[in-house]
Amino acid sequence: MLIAFNKPFNVLCQFTDRSQPPRATLAGFALPPAVYAAGRLDYDSEGLLLLTDDGGLAHRLTDPRHKQPKCYWVQVEGVPTDDQLQALRQGVLLNDGPTLPVQVQRLEAAPPLWPRDPPVRFRKTVPDAWLAITLREGRNRQVRRMTAAVGLPTLRLVRASIGAYALADLQPGQWRALQQ
């Protein structure tokens, strides 16, 4: 079984949380029993999370050797310059080493997304922009760290696809079964 789930903002991509006070988890979304997340999506990120009951499939989806492309829509603070975009395309040096090059393009308009709750703070004097970033590795908070390294702090991060699987029209908290 393979499930596409639109993970809402401020939800853990696990079924339990031992922190105090407890945070929202996947347990609150009536997902089928015996599935678990194939990979991670940070608490403060949104979008496509794949869940499965098949360990081999989870491995194929998440193991870096398989290099599944993951596409993110990223709202950044500032207006990206060609030099900043080129730095991302070449890979940037993070504290845990250089990243692989990524595909990145500036989006002319915000992608068709749902309103975030709570909304991203709007600042009249600070412009923002949307990027589509596709990477093939998956380090901890990698997209956020990469955009910050080139001077474009991330305001909102939404995973749109993993390999052939896309978020499509799923709204936050909704899921659907996928064909493998």
- Give the active site residues: 42
Range 69-90 burial, b when 16+ CB lie within 10 A, else e: ebbbbbbbbbebeeebbebbee
Residues pairing with 157 in the sheet: 74
- In this structure, are strands 46-52 and 2-7 parallel, antiparallel, or unpaired? antiparallel
Which residues have CB under 8 Å from 20's CB, separation 6+?
none
Cα–Cα distance measured from residue 176 to residue 50, given in angstroms and rounded to the nearest whole number: 10
What's the rounded Cα separation, in Å, for the pair 141 and 159? 12
Task: Tell me the residue type at 54.
Answer: D
- Given a contact cutoff of 8 angstroms between Cβ atoms, the answer to whether 147 and 61 are in contact is no
